[in-house]
A and B are shown apart, each in its own frame.
Chain A
Amino acid sequence: EAGVTQFPSHSVIEKGQTVTLRCDPISGHDNLYWYRRVMGKEIKFLLHFVKESKQDESGMPNNRFLAERTGGTYSTLKVQPAELEDSGVYFCASSQDSWRDTQYFGPGTRLTVL
């Protein structure tokens, strides 16, 4: 069974540009999560989808971030316009059930904003 996949693995962009990150969860997992780790800090929760619905987006830093999960399969996270402080590693995770179930993490996308 394929794990969580993320694309791209690395992205380097200029401040003010737009970047879109993609996550493909494990097949059959209704729950999809986005997290971010900035250098020197802990991994921080961004938002949680159940199928195509946003269950919790309390961790989204501001309105420059837009997450979608059309059709309840893969998800995209768009940052527009990117700022220097958006640099970090963006992880996606998925789980079959909610709070008790294991969240399986993808390899992450390393975003560098110059």
Chain B
Amino acid sequence: QKEVEQNSGPLSVPEGAIASLNCTYSDRVSQSFFWYRQYSGKSPELIMSIYSNGDKEDGRFTAQLNKASQYVSLLIRDSQPSDSATYLCAVNVGGGADGLTFGKGTHLIIQP
């Protein structure tokens, strides 16, 4: 059974600091990895996607993937109060099974 694990938090980070969010997955054949942000009562919104080992940067966000360790992370630099939300890690194994497998999400709180 495919599983995606995240620390549910809450993770509290001071404004301006780096927030580090982690995720592990169980299915070794997973091919694509996504970080979604979800504000309370809203729909998930894509922050980053990553497909290859290493780092991928987009503005204040950096996604890191290590397929050997089955680990993906998201770093948020210069955290802002507006970054406070639940961050969902999602994994796709591809090959026709294209539904995303989600973790429960990490609740991030940026303290002003």
Contacts and interface: CB of A to CB of B under 8 A. Distances in A.
B49 interface: yes
Nearest to A105: B43
Nearest to A43: B102
A45 interface: yes
Nearest to A6: B43
Contacts of B49: 100, 102
B98 A56 contact: yes
Interface residues of B, number: 28
A33 to B, nearest CB: 6
B112 interface: no
A48 B42 contact: no
B104 A41 contact: yes
Given A91-B43, A107-B42, A42 B99 contact: no
Interface stretch (B12-20, B56-64, B67-75, B88-96): B88-96
A103 interface: yes
Interface of B: 4, 31-32, 34, 36, 42-46, 49, 51, 88, 90, 92-105
Interface string A98-112: 111011111110000
Interface of A: 4, 31, 33, 35, 41-48, 55-56, 58-59, 91, 98-100, 102-108
A24 B87 CA distance: 25
Contacts of A45: 99-101
B100 A104 contact: no
Given A41-B104, A100-B51, A108 B43 contact: yes
A59 B100 CA distance: 11
Given A43-B88, A55-B98, A56-B98, A100 B32 contact: yes
Contacts of B103: 42
B100 A103 contact: yes
A1 to B, nearest CB: 15
A99 B104 contact: no
Nearest to B36: A105
B96 A56 contact: yes
